[in-house]
Structure formats: C-alpha cells, structure tokens
Amino acid sequence: MDSSVVHGNDFLVQYRNISAKLKKRFLRKPNVAEASEEFGQLARGLSEGEAWAQAGLCCVAVARCEQTLANTTTEVAAITQAARYFLKAETVSRSLHCPSFDEHLMTAISCFQHAINHYKEHKKPALAAALSAELGQALRSLGQPSEALAHLRQAAELHKASPLHYLTCLDHIATCKIELGDLDGALTVYTQMTSQLDQQKRPLSGAFRDILAKCEISSLLILLTLQPLPQHTQSPHAKLLEKYSWTTPDLQIPDVPYDDAEVVVLLQSLVLACQSGDTATLAALSQHLTPLLSHHHLHLLYTLIQEMNRS
C-alpha cells in the first residue's frame, strides 16, 4: 500500500480496506499485526499531508490493534501520538477560525487521559506526569488556563519525587492563575515554591536559582499590585518588601538570586514609587525595566501600572 500521498476520499477507502482485514471470516483469523502496520503507514502519510485529525483516527486504530495483541507499550505510544495529532488539528482549526464544538480537543484529552491512566496503573508516575503537564500546557496555549489547572495539578502531584519537575509544574500553575486574574492564588503558589527552595540543603545554582529569581520578582510585583494592609501581610511577604526597600543598611545591594544590580536598583525604586503613589515615576521606571525583564514579569509590571493608575 502506498500511503505517501493520500487525497480526498482515498483516506476513507484505504481506512475501510484495512478495517475489512480485521473482520472474522470462517476458518480464518484476522491478521491484526498486518492491519496495525498498515494503519500506521496510513497515519504517517496523512500527517505528511497535514491531515491531522485523520492521522489521529489511524493512530487510534493502531492502538486498538495493539491492545488486541496485548502490546501495551505500542498501544500507549499510538494513543499518545493520536492525542498529539488531534491537538494539532484543534490548533489549526482555531487558527483558521473554523466553527466547531471542540471535538478534536475533546478527543485529544480522552486519548491523553487513556495514556496517563495506563502509566498510573503501571506505577510509572514520571511518564504520567509528563503527559499531564503536556496536556495542561497545550490547554494553556489554546487559551484555556482554567481547564489546564487540573492537569497541571495532577502533574505536580505525580512529580513530587522530582524537585525540579515539581517546581516547574507549580510555576505553570502560578502562570495559569495570573492569566485568570487570580493574583492572590499565584502569590500563594510562588510562596510555596520559595519555601520549597529554601529547604534545599545546598546553595542553589542553575535552574533552581533561576526559578527562585522568577518567584522573587513575581512575588514582589504581585505584592505591589495587591497592596495588602500591614496586618494582613504574611511574614515572608513583609521580609520581601523590606528587602527591596531603600531602608537597607548603608544602601547596600541586597542578596538576590540573580546577577543584575541594575534590576535590583530599579525594583527598589519601583517599591518606593508604589509606596508614595508616584505614577509618573512608575511609568518612567517601567521604560527602564522593559528591556531587562522577561515577558512574564512585564505582564505583571503592566498589571501593576494599571492598578496604580486606577487607585
């Protein structure tokens, strides 16, 4: 079967022809392995032609064949690939503004969940967590942070034995909360992450230090936006605000988890401007901070400026 090029109704014809081989005949067993291979070839041809949904259907057919053959590893690999094809179909459909009922997305979620449940049942939490995180991030990219939260929480729970992956999942959760406008919830997650990092028995370096830097700056910007009353400010948050105030002894640069003294001074000035309600200075500082901060922190900075201009 030549599956390198699949046009129009060719897909349905080839799909039906392969499916016919799975029907039981008198005194003859269906060749499930051969059908699985042909469904796989058809899926590859369809993906090359960017017929993502049809490729996904073929991968589901492969998974069913492998389930019949009791090849669980190949079955899960096929259903995972199907999930990714259906996600691609949903992304393309949305980019073209095609009317739909999110059927490709619902099918992708179902396929992902099938694979996740398999890994959980077979005591492979790392693989289950990786797929949960992948699904959560995909939902975020499709503009569904609320739906993404449940999958990211599941990923974090499954990744608890791996500190770096666990913190990465928590970071994604905090970002979802920010996108939903839940700054209090995001601050709680960042505080949890900071506490987790503080419990490390050795000096932080590499990715862990980068995560701590992100947590610290994010928490500071959120605190300045929320402006909690002193009596309602938690101890770690009060210490953070004090750290970036100009009241430090001898105006020394405080100990921060990043190597940029200019950012420290600008953030200290930002705290002072917010405390004094100086919106003009705040606007000027934002121009200096824009080339120095990440996209994530710039979003929080602009949220802070909007809140200060309203108050």
Model-level pTM? Answer: 0.90
Can you say whether residue 206 is alpha, beta or left, with left for phi > 0 and alpha for psi between -120 and 50 degrees? Answer: left
- pLDDT tens sequence across 262-287: 999 999 999 999 999 999 999 999 99
Rg (CA), the chain: 26
pLDDT at 248 over 60: no
pLDDT of residue 10: 86
Long-range contacts of 133-138 (CB under 8 A, 24+ apart): 133/159, 133/165, 133/168, 133/169, 133/172, 135/83, 135/108, 135/109, 136/172, 136/176, 137/172, 138/87, 138/108
The residues that bridge with 25 in the sheet, in sequence order, are 28
Burial of 85 (0-12, 13-18, 19+ CB in 10 A): buried
**pLDDT score of 157:** 97
Q: Number of C-alpha atoms within 13 angstroms, CB side, residue 87?
A: 20
pLDDT digits (tens, 9 = 90+) for 143-165: 999 999 999 999 999 999 999 99
Give percent of the chain above pLDDT 70.
94
pLDDT digits (tens, 9 = 90+) for 28-39: 788 899 999 999
Task: Inform me whether the pLDDT recorded for 250 exceeds 60.
Answer: no
> Residue 251 — pLDDT band, cuts 50, 70, 90?
low
User: What does the pLDDT average to over 299-304?
Assistant: 97
pLDDT at 9: 62
Q: Does residue 8 register a pLDDT over 80?
A: no
pLDDT per position as a tens digit, 193-247: 999 999 887 788 899 999 999 999 999 999 999 999 888 899 999 999 999 987 6
| Mean per-residue pLDDT, 298-310 | 95
pLDDT tens for 64-88 read 999 999 999 999 999 999 999 999 9
What are the residue boundaries of the structural domains of the chain, listed by start?
1-123
Per-residue pLDDT at 311 exceeds 90: no
* Confidence grade of residue 99 (pLDDT, cut at 50, 70, 90): confident
